[in-house]
Amino acid sequence: KQEVTQIPAALSVPEGENLVLNCSFTDSAIYNLQWFRQDPGKGLTSLLLIQSSQREQTSGRLNASLDKSSGRSTLYIAASQPGDSATYLCAVWSGGGGADGLTFGKGTHLIIQP
């Protein structure tokens, strides 16, 4: 059974710093990996999707990498801003003929101090 772990569980840094969030998964046979952002009491916002054949994806100040063979992904946030404060979730899709849902990590709760 696929398991997704995110480290750290919580992180608080001053504004302007670059930071890295980590995600690992136990079964490397994935189709894709997604990073989401969740604000308190809200739904999910998809940030980046990396297909299993890709090594990284970039969107603005965000860069996500994927090392499928080692079961790891990182989300790099450059020049952090207070508005980046949220919970960041990593999720993998293991396929199953397209009928399986995503397996989520427990998230990293990020606070950017002004």
Partner 1 sequence: GAVVSQHPSRVICKSGTSVKIECRSLDFQATTMFWYRQFPKQSLMLMATSNEGSKATYEQGVEKDKFLINHASLTLSTLTVTSAHPEDSSFYICSARGVVQGGQGDEQYFGPGTRLTVT
Nearest distance in Å: CB 50, partner 1: 9
Q: Which is nearer to partner 1, 32 or 80 (CB)?
A: 32
**For 70, phi and psi rounded to 5 degrees?**
-95, -5
Q: Which is nearer to partner 1, 1 or 114 (CB)?
A: 1
Give the integer Cα–Cα distance in Å for 21 and 102: 19
Nearest distance in Å: CB 99, partner 1: 5
Contact positions vs partner 1 (CB under 8 A): 32, 34, 36, 41-44, 46, 49, 51, 89, 91, 93, 98-107
Q: Which is nearer to partner 1, 33 or 77 (CB)?
A: 33
Tell me the two tokens of residue 68: 């499928």
Cβ-in-10-Å burial (0-12, 13-18, 19+) of 69 comes to exposed
Pairing assessment for the beta strands 32-38 and 86-93 based on DSSP bridges: antiparallel
Nearest distance in Å: CB 40, partner 1: 11
